[in-house]
Amino acid sequence: MNDLGGKTAFVTGSVQGIGLAIAKALGGAGARVALHGLATAEAAAAACDALRAAGAADVAFFDGDLRDLEAVDRLLEQVQAWGPVDILVNNAGIQHTAPLAEMPRETWEAILAINLSAAFHTMQALMPKMAQRGFGRVINIASVHGLVASKDKAPYVAAKFGLVGLSRVAALEYAHVGSRESGGVTVNCIAPGWTETAIIEPQIVARAAAHGGDRAAGIAELLSEKQPSQRTSDPSEIGALALWLCAGVAHNITGTTIPVDGGWTTQ
């Protein structure tokens, strides 16, 4: 079910965290994987090495600033020259917290460009070609903040809600494409809650210190306000879900947003 031999995946924002975990899961199933990010040569090489170790059939790294439409066009041209994209994962994202009245306008524009507009551009370019082949998977990494709001995150929440809406529209437009045998073309979102990435590590360390170094207690306190399970997710768990959505048996799962949030959005 999880054999992606002969398939090519393109994962944006994939040199670390959730993006890298998804890329490793897809590569581990035999896919060729196009990695992407704004990274040092060393970081890019390390990510490629991790994919090869995971079992990827082939791997290449592509850079490109997703805030720049010309750079996005060049990126898409280069990736498609490397191979026809069967699986698109829009993971790249940035965040900045500030009250609405104090949010810099340039920050609003940057967050919307990377977290939302870039997904539109990649989907617009790649999905018609998926349709021609009768198989395609688009997995957009949203957030619990694509389902519920929080203070001080206006552009991030707006972008993630928009990503969920964009995904639903695309799912409807491509739902009839292909067949059970070919796998069809599907579009889904994954909405992680608290996930152990470098972004939240300083908060975990600080909370653990307040509990005498007890990491589990620190995490439980950090999550207690919003995530009922009081457990974080590991990025590899998001990768496992993304891999499952790529399977042929998932041909009728489209237009969904799947929370991985320990009950956060159930409340």
- Residues whose CB is less than 8 angstroms from the CB of residue 18 and which lie 6 or more positions away in sequence, other chains included: 91, 141, 192, 195, 197, 235, 238, 239
Question: How far, in Å, CA of 125 to CA of 129, rounded?
Answer: 8
Helix (H, G, I), strand (E, B) or coil at 130: helix
> How many CA atoms are closer than 13 Å to the CA of 98, on its beta-carbon side?
13
Catalytic residue among 61, 62, 135, 156: 156
For 5-48, the pLDDT digits (tens) are 999 999 999 999 999 999 999 999 999 999 999 999 999 999 99
Mean pLDDT of 62-76: 97
Asked if 192 contacts 155 with a C-beta cutoff of 8 angstroms, the reply is no
**pLDDT per residue as tens digits for the range 242-259:** 999 999 999 999 999 999
Q: How far apart are CA 181 and CA 79, in angstroms?
A: 27
Q: Spell out the domain ranges in the chain.
A: 8-195+233-266
For residue 222, what pLDDT is reported? Answer: 85
The Cα 116–Cα 144 span in angstroms is: 15
Does CATH place domain 8-195+233-266 in 3.30.70.141? no
156 catalytic? Reply is yes
Residues near 238 by beta carbon (within 8 Å), at least 6 away in sequence:
18, 21, 22, 141, 190, 192, 195, 260
Whole-number mean pLDDT of the chain? 96
Confidence (pLDDT) at 1 = 63
Q: What percentage of the chain reaches a pLDDT higher than 90? A: 90
- CA dist 51 and 32 (Å) reads 9
The model carries a pTM of 0.95
Query: How would residue 56 be classed by pLDDT, with cut points 50, 70 and 90?
Result: very high
Which residues touch 125 (CB under 8 Å, ≥6 apart)? 76, 80
Q: How far is CA 231 from CA 117, 148, 196, in A?
A: 32, 19, 10
Sheet containing 87-90: give its strands across: 58-62, 32-36, 8-11, 87-90, 135-141, 184-192, 257-260
